[in-house]
Each structure stands twice: as structure tokens, then as C-alpha cells.
Amino acid sequence: MAKLIEDIENNIEKDEIENAKKEEVIEILNDIKESVSKKKKTSIIKNALLGLKDFLISAGATITANIINSKINGFF
């Protein structure tokens, strides 16, 4: 899971989206990291990642969204 989050963080910096949207993505990622560290249910983490993926698509960060989509199936 840590590798997936790291990949998202690295790719979001490369995606050409508004800085405000990047900040929102980072905030969501921090919430996901916190959920992982608190060992919350996997369904909660999966739903957060799916929500992040949808947000990324709407923001125009389809490459990063595709990374989530391709890797999420291996975790859940």
C-alpha cells in the first residue's frame, strides 16, 4: 500500500493540473495514509482510493488515476 501511495504522490507532481487540485489530492492521500496507519477496514481504504481516482479523473490527472485503477485490484 505504501508503494501505491508513493507512486500517486510522485505522479501527481508530474500531472498538469491546478495547484489547488494537487493540494486537495495531497490532503486526501494524507487521510488515506492515516487510515492505513490506524489499520482501518480495507473497504474504507479502498473506497477512499476509488474516490481519489474519480477526483483525479475529473481534475484531468488520468495517468495517476490509471495507476490507482491498475494497482487497486492487486490489493483488494
pLDDT for residue 15: 83
Contact 58, 31 (CB under 8 A): no
Closest listed residue to residue 35, CA positions, set 25, 44, 27:
44
What's the CA gap between 71 and 48, in Å, rounded? 14
Average pLDDT by consecutive 10-residue portion of the chain (76 residues)?
87 87 92 92 92 92 89 73
Q: Could you tell me the residue range of the domain that residue 49 belongs to?
A: 2-75
Write down how long the chain is.
76
Q: Considering its fold, how many domains does the chain have in total?
A: 1
Cell 482510493 locates to 49
Contact 49, 72 (CB under 8 A): yes
